[in-house]
Chain A
């Protein structure tokens, strides 16, 4: 039985195909301007990658901010539920998930079966999200991929006090003009994200083990600062970007009720 999970995020669209709870293939593509184009494309690609002749799915569950825009999805489920389920599948000992995506960040407490028991999510603000890092990378003329690597060379992370993305951008420009080394600025940006995420998460508490998912989890500079901020080791799955889509696919497989898409 082939089932599919689709995670339509602000920055990327992800698809995972499962067969009897085994990952057959996955794909990650930029969302771009059209959810429809992105989902069509990611479905084509994930089927191609599977190397199988799949003409349809038993069930499709969509998640992410564009979850209600997928006309062929059987159900739409919030990404918080999907990330918990996906993380539990990959790392059964995990009880806390930190998910930082393109436009939001979330802290999720879960039980041993992958059910959400509590959660917190950022409000109305891009600070502490992938978008924040993207803006800063642009200002510092560094590729997103290099942000983590460069930050590891920092001896003294800069203090970025603004919590607003727009204000922080001016602050970084101003510090850069004063000759602050780029690696210190990047480390300071990571520290700021980690600090805001840790504050948000303290309301629900961090229980071991802690997993880090979403696109920002690929940035090991942020991971390092997060570990320091919460005083715990963090596990990053091999492909942290697909955890939401994987959770959606698992829910598609077990018929978990969601909201009609």
Chain B
């Protein structure tokens, strides 16, 4: 087994490898991953990830497992359903639960971005195929959608049996799925949303908006069930929901650990674990829970010892998301002495105060998603950022601005002005693409990050001196 070393490094047990050998052989053959690619992946994992932490290693293993599952789904007779990123929490899980393991409902581009991109460094050819087929380069089009189209067009992943098209957040996801619907004849269910809340509404939610979103979710479940020939099973959903809740509780515990000074883990590693919530298949979700459950005591141990990738007292910032395709970006930030204890997509600052009068699964799901802020508005993201600054004792904001993401491409500029004026802390806007590292200059980024680190450290040390002087 030429892949034994990398899988072992990624937390796979010997018996699991033996059990899944025929699947692994076939999936790696389809993916074109041979002994050389395994060596490259091993080097990248050792260099880019905190392999002293078994929770991180297991998470890497779950991503690889998820990749195998999606590549083989059709040949193994599963009904395949794809949803877009960012997903609606629970939607994919509920659809998977309906099929009692016979349905694979995943966000394939996200799995490919991490497994094939971050781990194996083999995502660029897939993006290029996506560009050649449908989404040309140089036009500010989403890299994740390029991956979705490119991977299907290259035959790396199958065309699915159903698409859950996401126009609830961005038009590009919907347009990509429309393309797949037209070209491959894949049935699709469209989820809509309205993004025009009043500026000061958040964290209160507009009831009409919430009800509309809940109705869309309910409708998607019903339509999807009909197309897939399934009937929603509350018992199966309950089991999945329990695992999902455990995972969310695990994320909350990691957030508590990250409030420590120094934070016990690099954000690029933590993000890898937390994102399992958003993209893992039903079959792998128990493994995802095990990964985060393994990580929690490991982080607690580090917090107790006061250790982490950066020294105590390092400046602390938040970001929306750290580019995960290239872990070097997070490491560049850390090498400049900046800690990132929290990112937007991993900290549910407002879901602890949900309105109990909403009782159906769809209503609860809609309320949770809108309270997370992303699907609500730019003002909600700003509101969240101010709360994160307070909750995590932050010294600045390092906003990674995704220039190819239509809903997010301009929010950073609003955020910079508002945060600097209202909180008086520095904000650096770093123009990136979270999923495509072909479009930014590493050297220019390094200059900005190092300068920002210097600026934050000087402010922090001055503040400390002032406090001591007082």
Contact = CB atoms under 8 A, between A and B. Distances in A.
Contact of A203 (B416, B431, B443, B444): B416
A78 B447 contact: yes
B329 interface: no
Interface residues of B, number: 22
B450 A78 contact: yes
Interface string A185-205: 000000000000000000100
B444 A123 contact: yes
Interface in A63-109: 65, 68, 77-81, 104
Given A81-B454, A116-B455, A203-B416, A124 B441 contact: yes
A123 B444 CA distance: 8
Interface in B431-461: 431, 439-441, 443-444, 446-448, 450-451, 454-455, 457-458
A79 B439 CA distance: 23
A124 B439 contact: yes
B426 interface: yes
Contacts, number: 51
B444 A259 contact: no
Nearest to A76: B450
Given A123-B431, A203-B416, A259-B335, A116 B451 contact: yes
Nearest to A79: B447
B336 interface: yes
Contacts of B440: 123-124
A79 B457 CA distance: 17
A254 to B, nearest CB: 14
A80 B270 CA distance: 31
Contacts of B444: 104, 121-124
Contacts of B455: 115-119
Contacts of B431: 123-124
Contact of B447 (A80, A117, A203, A258): A80
Interface residues of A, number: 21
Interface string A249-260: 000000001110
Specify the main secondary structure of chain B where it touches its partner. helix
A68 B448 CA distance: 14
A104 B451 CA distance: 15
B156 to A, nearest CB: 29
A240 to B, nearest CB: 19
A80 B443 contact: no
Contacts of A116: 451, 454-455, 458
A17 B5 CA distance: 52
Contacts of A118: 426, 455
A63 B336 CA distance: 15
Given A203-B416, A259-B335, A259-B336, A121 B458 contact: no
B334 to A, nearest CB: 12
A117 B425 CA distance: 11
A121 B454 contact: no
Contacts of B335: 259
Contacts of A117: 455
Interface centre among B335, B336, B441, B447 (most CB of A within 10 A): B447
Nearest to B428: A119
A121 B447 contact: yes
B454 A78 contact: yes
A67 B447 CA distance: 10
Contacts of B458: 115-116
Contact of B451 (A65, A119, A203): A119
A46 B198 CA distance: 62
Interface string B403-430: 1000000000100110000000010000
- List the 4 closest A-B pairs by CB distance, nearest first: A80-B451, A78-B450, A78-B451, A123-B431
Interface of A: 65, 68, 77-81, 104, 115-119, 121-124, 203, 257-259
12 contacts: A77-B454, A78-B450, A79-B447, A104-B444, A115-B458, A116-B454, A118-B426, A119-B451, A121-B447, A124-B431, A203-B416, A257-B457
